[in-house]
Structure 1
Amino acid sequence: MGFSPENIARAIDEHGPNADTVVIIDAISKYTVNCEASSSKSKTIDHFLAMGFEEEKVIKAIHEHGEDNIEEIANALISSAADASPVIKEEEDIEWSESDDEKYANFLSSDDEKVSDSSSENGNQLRSLMNMGFSELEASLAIQRCGTGEDVSIADLADFICAAQIAREFDEFHADPEEQKPNVKKRRIEPRREPRSSAADDEPLRLPNPMIGFGVPNEPGLIAQRSLPAMARMPPFFYYENVALAPKGVWDTISSHLYDVPPEFVDSKYICAAARKRGYVHNLPISGRYQVQPPPKYTISEAFPLTKKWWPEWDKRTKLNCILTVNASAQLTNRIRLALEPYSGEPPESKKKYVIEQCKKWNLVWVGKNKAAPLEPDEMETLLGFPRNHTRGGGMSRTERLKSLGNSFQVDTVAYHLSVLKPLFPYGINVLSLFTGIGGGEVALHRLQIPMKTVVSVEISAGNRNILKDFWEQTNQKGTLIEFADVQDLSNEKIVELMKQFGGFDLVIGGSPCNNLAGGNRVSRSGLEGDQSCLFYEYCRILDVVRETTKTMRRS
């Protein structure tokens, strides 16, 4: 690629591994210009030659735009390559339905997605990319990952390949920033426990429709009773969360390792203004639930009233998709503006469908005439039930805030489930919080006004640990907060010691990483055997220790 390892590392460190590809490339290019001004022209030529562009076109673009305008040179070269390619047939419009929401919100695609590609269109794009110097394998993978059609340009595909090449050099395409540090221990998989029943031989769990679990506040069909397996009725209470749309068999395994408790699947769009399909395995009572106050805003217009003025009538969305860990690029929102500007009235059907597709995929809202914009972190905090500015400041970059919010609980949903604990623990609760993130469980308990006597939190991200610590201090919590970094370092002996110190734990709450479960991960969607999602077995290990120690403490 022609990029130095130092500049690649600097760009990824500054913007995060999930940042938009254009942002990464632009950042690296700017570093190169700033650091090597003395021989910038020759370096610029070498830079673009290494990317596969023809020398004659590179020199011409530098002459037209100036050697310092790296971004304009890159756009000119990519546009030139795209213009030289055969005319691409416009893709047929995509019909959207309510069930499509999270498929396209899970980054770019899910395993259930169906794409109507044309072989000739793929061939045209493949040839264009190969003419730019990319290998056939790289071009084919880019088309497979990004799709085709009027919304996916040659420039988008080239950006994707360039970013993938950068990421491969550092093995960071799907890595967590905390794991990019040297000498980090390899994640281990705990030995599998045998399922406690013959449920593994049955058909896989099916997702309900509508996805409202045992009932939600704004919908009919409330269920007030269920029968728990005998093994799940002993203390403490436990509450485990992860993505509902996991690979086949994952939820059967989760259920079998958590005492055969069937998962409760809930889409948070039935509780708030944003979708979030999640499964929850817990042994909490389900009778007597109530909604946390103040209740969440139920529609987009209620959550963001300033968007009403600019919201086009032909955009019929009332709910947003699942909050993502990444945001749409400025280039995309500019393409939407350019697509709509020629029309004083309602745009043609094909333009409307293209715009709606992008708005749904990236959770865009209308902030001006023809101006669609991604959600800001403080708006995401509102949708997810966190206090305003919960993740702001304290060393957290915008990219880090987006990632932390995208991986968090939907607080209003979790609070609805945990509300049954308030009458059971009027004087306070001891909590063991695993994979705490930005403290969704703690915020839910606080909003329910359930006193937290002790919270032992385990969270790998130092930034997230600081967020919880700040929340603890700013809300004047009277209890004790103890933070650990890694669940693998929380030994059985340490758990017993903590339980004896604080009198045991009343609730074990958490959701292990979904990296290898989420539909958007095409590279390593390996289920619970994946390098990150295998940490589910650490949750099981720790919960078993807490349960056994609780039995011992009660007998003594």
Structure 2
Amino acid sequence: MSQDWTSDNDDSDKFEWESDGEAEPSSAPAFRNLDAAGPSTLDSNGWANEEAPPTSLVEGYVLMGFPKEMVLKGIKEIGHSDANALLELLLTYKTLGDDAAAGNCSTSGCFPQSVEDDDDFDFENWDGDNDADGREPNPDSSGDEDFLREMSEKDNKIKSLVDMGFPEDEANMAITRCGVDAALTVLADSVYASQAAGDCHYGNLSDYEVTGSCFDSLGGRKRARLMEGSKKKRKRYGGAAQGNRRPLDGSHEEPMPLPNPMVGFNLPNDRLRSVTRRLPQQAIGPPFFYYENVALAPKGVWATISRFLYDIEPEFVDSKHLCAAARKRGYIHNLPIENRFPLLPLPPKTIFEAFPHYKKWWPSWDPRRQLNCLQTSMSSAKLTERIQCALASSGNPPPKSVQKYVMDECRKWNLVWVGKNKVAHLEPDEVEYLLGFPRDHTRGVGKTERFKSLGNSFQVDTVAYHLSVLKDMYPNGVNVLSLFTGIGGGEVALHRLGIHMRTVVSVEIGEVNRRILRGWWDQTQTGTLIEIADVKSLTDDRIATFVRRFGGFDLVIGGSPCNNLAGSNRHHRDGL
């Protein structure tokens, strides 16, 4: 069993995962005593008797997730009579960095500081002796401020990716590849792609251009000190300093351009576009192969995959064109692209078509009509409680800053509205539905395991649309070699298409995934399922034995590269 899987026992995750355990509106902080008098004497923070904020007020903002020091700093700056203004200021602090309010920070200029215990580097007090030509440092330099803010934004995005379960060094590299302004969903896809490629070793910094406009306004020595300070700060998350990884094949090729819109060669009911492609003679099936990878792969990865598969160009598809959730993937295959047909009934393409009951509480300022890529983990109850408290203490509609905070979290975690000011993550059966799996496909294992398995799977409707051309070609069924099967997205697609699977040789290292696949197979299939845990044991001799035994394979399908690949782990993908 892969080390990336956790226990099937849900006890340790109950509070974080059970949506019914979320705080009720009555638990929101009480802001009704905003003008209550403070202590009659100066307290330890130096508040006068008419200035001290009510304890309940401070505790309320702390419950929302703001550090106490940040709350006190904000109150000292603008007072506490205007709850909305104070909340906007705290959210501004949060955007610029959690540590900002603890130091010399205001809404007009905020310099994040490192809180590393052994970090003696001070962003705000420049040492003039280290500056070139002995000039006096200027702490108010706009270039310095821009640089620091970009560093703060990068650190915040790294922390968000770490909170989502990604290693810090891989999160850092995703931002380097995609840019600090890239959405978290784009960064997450980039990390998945890097993990799939085995692209986890660092190259020399000089191999890549890692400069931005804010770098150009800083002197060389000062810039070096800023970078060093940022490196130290990110050590809090257990990661390495900023660096770059070499492409999988060691090349310096540019990233493969992605189509926009990402609609593949064609879509169901799309009769306007006529796309033809020519395959190399040696690539024409049968047998057919079908390999999936995340679209936003590091440069050189798609070129490498294509080179090993007859130089076939990938078909890029975003599943939002076929269902209610985005999923940007590329598929290298030698399947025909004419006479495809979709699964029926057609899946819903919007959130409200899929889950109409959520429309009751959906606010007008939430413009989402589709969900982002479904992830391998879900938000915590603490986050949804903080969102509830932020909304309860705001007007209707809430201020723009509160809306932005809430929408950023809702997009990041695919949160839906389940009550007044109340959001929650999707439940596993809802994720199954969005991905095209039968209800309860993953039921029987821990909730955490279900989310991880589903987040790593195929989107069944998309894959089935591509595989549909096989139905008329194989009326008596197919023999399938399924590499990195996961929870059987490819097999479910074939089953829903009505294509009988005579034999499936499944290679999957995850014990939980194998259990899910076996349970589904025993309930729905009459063919033979042969399970192999480690791809390294699938030797040439063993494949030859299967070919003699079954007469060969009609389809070789490669599972989602987001999975832990058999015979490897998340960081070193030997065996692919």
| 1:81 CA displacement | 5.0
Aligned twin of 2:156: 147
Report Cα offsets for 1:29-51 as digits up to 9, x if no partner: xxxxxxxxxxxxxxxxxxxxxxx
Aligned twin of 1:242: 293
Cα 1:76–1:445 change in 2 (3 A) is closer
Structure-1 separation of matches of 2:71 and 2:425: 29
State the AA in 1 paired with 2:346: P
Asked if 1:463 is matched to 2:512, the reply is yes
Structure-1 separation of matches of 2:558 and 2:507: 9
Asked if 1:420 is matched to 2:469, the reply is yes
Report Cα offsets for 1:234-291 as digits up to 9, x if no partner: 4310000011011111111111111101000000000000000000000000000001
Structure-2 separation of matches of 1:344 and 1:205: 46
Asked if 1:217 is matched to 2:268, the reply is yes
| 1:450 CA displacement | 0.4
Structure-2 separation of matches of 1:20 and 1:248: 40
Aligned residue pairs total 406
3-state SS of 1:422 partner: helix
Aligned twin of 2:392: 341
2:542 pairs, out of 466, 479, 494, with 494
| 1:308 CA displacement | 1.1
| 1:391 CA displacement | 0.3
Structure-1 separation of matches of 2:476 and 2:340: 19
| 1:346 CA displacement | 1.9
Structure-2 separation of matches of 1:293 and 1:350: 43
Instruction: Give runs of aligned pairs for residues 126-525 of structure 1, distance below 5 A.
Output: 130=115, 133=117, 147=156, 204-217=255-268, 221-343=272-394, 345-393=396-444, 396-475=445-524, 477-511=525-559, 513-514=561-562
Aligned twin of 1:173: none
Cα 1:479–1:148 change in 2 (3 A) is closer
3-state SS of 1:423 partner: helix
Cα 1:236–1:538 change in 2 (3 A) is farther
Does the 8 Å CA contact 2:64/2:385 hold for their aligned counterparts?
A: no
Does the 8 Å CA contact 1:239/1:280 hold for their aligned counterparts?
A: yes
Cα 1:21–1:345 change in 2 (3 A) is closer
Structure-2 separation of matches of 1:122 and 1:270: 46
3-state SS of 1:130 partner: coil
Aligned twin of 1:49: none
Cα 1:279–1:470 change in 2 (3 A) is same
Cα 1:145–1:460 change in 2 (3 A) is farther
Cα 1:208–1:448 change in 2 (3 A) is same
Cα 1:392–1:21 change in 2 (3 A) is closer
Does the 8 Å CA contact 1:219/1:270 hold for their aligned counterparts?
A: no
Does the 8 Å CA contact 1:456/1:481 hold for their aligned counterparts?
A: yes
Structure-2 separation of matches of 1:413 and 1:162: 26
State the AA in 1 paired with 2:559: G
Instruction: Give runs of aligned pairs for residues 2-13 of structure 1, distance below 5 A.
Output: 13=7
State the AA in 2 paired with 1:342: S
Structure-2 separation of matches of 1:345 and 1:89: 18
Structure-2 separation of matches of 1:208 and 1:122: 45
Structure-2 separation of matches of 1:380 and 1:333: 19
Which structure has greater helix proportion?
1
State the AA in 1 paired with 2:488: G
**TM-score normalised per structure 1:** 0.63
Aligned twin of 1:26: none
Report Cα offsets for 1:445-475 as digits up to 9, x if no partner: 0000000000010100111111111111111
Structure 2 unaligned regions, length at least 5: 18-59, 78-87, 106-110, 124-147, 169-197, 201-250
Between Structure 1 and Structure 2, whose CA radius of gyration is higher?
A: 2
Does the 8 Å CA contact 1:91/1:117 hold for their aligned counterparts?
A: no
| 1:222 CA displacement | 3.5
3-state SS of 2:482 partner: strand
| 1:130 CA displacement | 2.4
Structure-2 separation of matches of 1:255 and 1:228: 12
Report Cα offsets for 1:49-97 as digits up to 9, x if no partner: xxxxxxxxxxxxxxxxxxxxxxx9x989994455566879667799xxx
Structure-2 separation of matches of 1:162 and 1:414: 27
Structure-2 separation of matches of 1:129 and 1:84: 20
State the AA in 1 paired with 2:465: Y
State the AA in 1 paired with 2:479: N
Does the 8 Å CA contact 1:269/1:276 hold for their aligned counterparts?
A: yes
Cα 1:346–1:487 change in 2 (3 A) is same
Cα 1:136–1:334 change in 2 (3 A) is farther
**TM-score normalised per structure 2:** 0.61
| 1:223 CA displacement | 3.4
Cα 1:20–1:259 change in 2 (3 A) is farther
Report Cα offsets for 1:403-445 as digits up to 9, x if no partner: 1000000000000000000000001000000000000000000
Structure-2 separation of matches of 1:212 and 1:321: 16
| 1:516 CA displacement | 10
Cα 1:324–1:148 change in 2 (3 A) is closer
3-state SS of 1:508 partner: strand
Cα 1:356–1:225 change in 2 (3 A) is same
3-state SS of 2:469 partner: helix
Q: Identity, % of aligned pairs?
A: 53
| 1:320 CA displacement | 0.1
Report Cα offsets for 1:198-217 as digits up to 9, x if no partner: xx897542000000010112
State the AA in 1 paired with 2:552: G
| 1:486 CA displacement | 1.1
Cα 1:472–1:124 change in 2 (3 A) is farther
Does the 8 Å CA contact 1:437/1:459 hold for their aligned counterparts?
A: yes
Cα 1:93–1:410 change in 2 (3 A) is farther
Cα 1:322–1:247 change in 2 (3 A) is same
Structure-2 separation of matches of 1:82 and 1:22: 25
Structure-2 separation of matches of 1:304 and 1:483: 36
3-state SS of 1:446 partner: helix
Report Cα offsets for 1:324-382 as digits up to 9, x if no partner: 01111111111111121235632222222221111111100111111111111111000
Aligned twin of 2:185: none
Structure-2 separation of matches of 1:148 and 1:122: 20
Structure-2 separation of matches of 1:219 and 1:302: 21
Cα 1:276–1:218 change in 2 (3 A) is farther
State the AA in 1 paired with 2:533: A
Structure-2 separation of matches of 1:337 and 1:119: 23
Cα 1:464–1:424 change in 2 (3 A) is same
